[in-house]
Structure 1
Amino acid sequence: MPLHHAVLHDRVCLEARGPEAAAFLHGQLSRSMLELAAGDAPLAGWADARGRVRAVLRVVPLPERWLLVTPREGADALLAKLRMFVLRAKVTLARADDVAVAALLGDAADVLGRRGVAADTPPNRMVRRDELGFVRIAPRYWQVLGPRAALEPLAAEAESAAATAADLAEIGLGIPAITPPIAERFVAQMLNLDALGAVSFDKGCYPGQEIIARVHNLGGGKRRARRYALHAAGTAEPAPATPVLDPNGRIVGDVVRAARAAQGFELLAVVDHAAAAGALTCCGAPLMELPLPFDVPRD
Structure 2
Amino acid sequence: MLAVPFPSNADTITVCDITHLSIIQLQGPQAKAFLQGQLTCNVMTLAEQQWCWGAHCDPTGKMNSAFRLYQDNDETLMLILPTTLIEHQIAQLQKYAVFHQVTITQAPFNLIGLIGTDLLPWLQQQGLHASQPGLYSLPQDEAYVLIDNPHQALLITLSKTQPSWLPEPSTRQPGYLWQQQDILQAYPYFEAAHVQKFIPQMLNLHAINGISFDKGCYIGQETIARLKYRGGLKRALYVLAGSATQPVAIGDQVAWQLETGLKKVGEVLQVVQHEQVCILTCVMNNTLAADATFKLVADELSHLTVQARPYTIPT
After TM superposition, the score normalised by the length of structure 1 is 0.91
Counterparts in 2 of 1:149-228, with a 5 A limit? Answer: 149-151=160-162, 153-156=164-167, 160-228=172-240
| Equivalence for 1:266 | 279
Equivalent residue in structure 1 for 2:105, among 94, 98, 115: 94
Structure 2 residue 305 is matched with structure 1 residue 292:
no
| Equivalence for 1:232 | 244
Equivalent residue in structure 2 for 1:42, among 48, 52, 57: 52
More strand by share: 2
C-alpha separation in 1, matches of 2:137 and 2:206: 27
Equivalent residue in structure 1 for 2:268, among 249, 255, 267: 255
Secondary structure of the equivalent of 1:135?
Answer: strand
Identity of aligned residues (%): 25
Deviations along 1:141-192, one digit per CA (max 9) or x if unpaired, are 0001113533353431896322111111111111121211011111111100
Shift in CA distance, 154/175, structure 1 to aligned 2, threshold 3 Å? farther
Amino acid of the residue matched to residue 126 of structure 1? L
Shift in CA distance, 253/25, structure 1 to aligned 2, threshold 3 Å? same
Structure 1: segments with no counterpart, 5+ residues:
none
RMSD over aligned CA atoms reads 2.0
Secondary structure of the equivalent of 2:305?
Answer: strand
The structural deviation recorded for 1:243 is 1.7
Structure 2: segments with no counterpart, 5+ residues:
1-9
Amino acid of the residue matched to residue 153 of structure 2? W
| Equivalence for 1:4 | 14
| Equivalence for 1:80 | 91
Say whether the 8 Å CA contact 2:120–2:150 is kept in structure 1: no
Shift in CA distance, 50/156, structure 1 to aligned 2, threshold 3 Å? same
| Equivalence for 1:67 | 78
Shift in CA distance, 148/94, structure 1 to aligned 2, threshold 3 Å? same
Amino acid of the residue matched to residue 119 of structure 2? A
Say whether the 8 Å CA contact 1:41–1:61 is kept in structure 2: yes
Say whether the 8 Å CA contact 1:132–1:150 is kept in structure 2: no
Amino acid of the residue matched to residue 270 of structure 2? R
C-alpha separation in 2, matches of 1:61 and 1:153: 25
Amino acid of the residue matched to residue 174 of structure 1? A
After TM superposition, the score normalised by the length of structure 2 is 0.87
| Equivalence for 1:138 | 149
